[in-house]
Amino acid sequence: MEGSLLCADKEITELYNQYVDMIYQISFMYLKNKADAEDAVQTTFIKLLNYKKPFQNDEHIKAWLIRTATNHCKNHLKHWWRTNAELDTMYDYGKEDTKDETLEALLKLPGKYKTVIYLYYYMGYSTEEIAQILKQKHTTVRSLLSRGRKRLKDSLGGEFL
Amino acid sequence: MKNKKLKEAYDKILPTKFEKQKMLAQIIDKKEKRGISRRWIPSTLLLTMTCVMLLVVFYPRSESHPNLEGPVPSMLRMTEPDKIEYKGECYEYVGTHNGKKLIRTKEKIIGGSVYQIQNQKDSIVVQLEGVYAHYQKCRGE
């Protein structure tokens, strides 16, 4: 993509279809309810529309979207009314019968582990790639992954991961 | 996929087709409205107009006084060739300032200053264009 002045609806739609699932999942992992996740998706894509600098390739766009969505969610959670409300029990990811303990455990993880675990286990990135995407040190990503995995093991059972 | 159970868990939080369409429609709608938000236009216009009005009303004005070589505030004006009116009171010309100690008043005139002479409440010295002129309150007033 040359520059990021996305004007054509077709261009936006293509990018949207390509990345909406990923952005939605990341947002949901942080915000734990559909309405906020949908808002986060919209905000992230609006920011993409307003972004003026050129992207080098698709991976660059993807990394930018991941970082933007993550930062938006973190900022949203810092909001005063959000910090004063007890929303941890407000998981709303659809019908009752879709709930499972693995997802509950993932949602209960602290924010800093969520993105790393998602990118590693679901998107299939290596720790080096995750470090590049999140603009963090490789060792930081590895320790976040290790500690996040340990927390999941503790809550789901030793042989899980 | 490095873990099947995790994949299944993450798959449960995928948006439905309807939700995706709804979000896309809202994004495109917002894209068309981007730029200066319309709600800003009236408030910006109002603010600009208010600033212009305040500027017009409070812009410092001065009026010219031909006998004092240039614009001076209305508190000081020449009424006769050797008399001036300062703050509504008549002062007559005594002569040039002769080295007495002057106290600058808070009143400024354009291109000069108004002074009082120490221990002489009835006198003022008007300095204009480098010339100091001594005035005394008109007798009989």
Of B5, B12, B34, nearest to A93 by CB-CB distance is B12
Of B15, B22, B28, nearest to A12 by CB-CB distance is B28
pTM of the predicted model, to two decimals? 0.59
pLDDT value at residue A4 = 47
Instruction: Please tell me whether residues B90 and B126 are part of one structural domain.
Output: yes
**Domain of B17?**
4-58
Of B58, B73, B90, which residue constitutes the final position of a domain?
B58
Between the ranges A138-147, B56-65, B120-129, where is the mean pLDDT highest?
A138-147
Number of structural domains, chain B?
2
* Cα of A21 to nearest chain B Cα, Å: 6
CB contact (8 A) between residue A93 and residue B34: no
Instruction: Please tell me whether residues B82 and B45 are part of one structural domain.
Output: no
Q: Cβ neighbours of residue A99 under 8 Å, at least 6 residues apart?
A: A91, A93
Instruction: Please tell me whether residues B81 and B24 are part of one structural domain.
Output: no
Collect all residues of chain B within an 8 Å Cβ-Cβ radius of residue A13. Answer: 24, 28
Residue to substitute from A28, A115, A118, interface B, most B β-carbons within 10 A: A28
- Assign A51 a pLDDT band (cuts: 50, 70, 90): confident
Residue A91 pLDDT > 60: no
Collect all residues of chain A within an 8 Å Cβ-Cβ radius of residue B8. Answer: 100, 102
ipTM for this model: 0.79
Instruction: Please tell me whether residues B36 and B85 are part of one structural domain.
Output: no
CB contact (8 A) between residue B1 and residue A45: no
Instruction: Please tell me whether residues B52 and B75 are part of one structural domain.
Output: no
| Residue range B42-66: mean pLDDT, rounded | 74
Of A42, A50, A98, nearest to B34 by CB-CB distance is A50
Residue boundaries of the structural domains of chain A: 1-95, 100-161
Considering the domain A1-95 in this protein, what is its CATH number?
1.10.1740.10
pLDDT value at residue B66 = 36
Q: Does domain A100-161 have CATH number 3.60.10.10?
A: no
What digits encode the pLDDT tens for the residues B81-126? 788 888 788 888 888 776 667 776 766 666 667 888 777 778 888 8
Instruction: Please tell me whether residues B22 and B76 are part of one structural domain.
Output: no
Percentage, residues of chain B above pLDDT 90: 4
A122–B contact, CB cutoff 8 A: yes
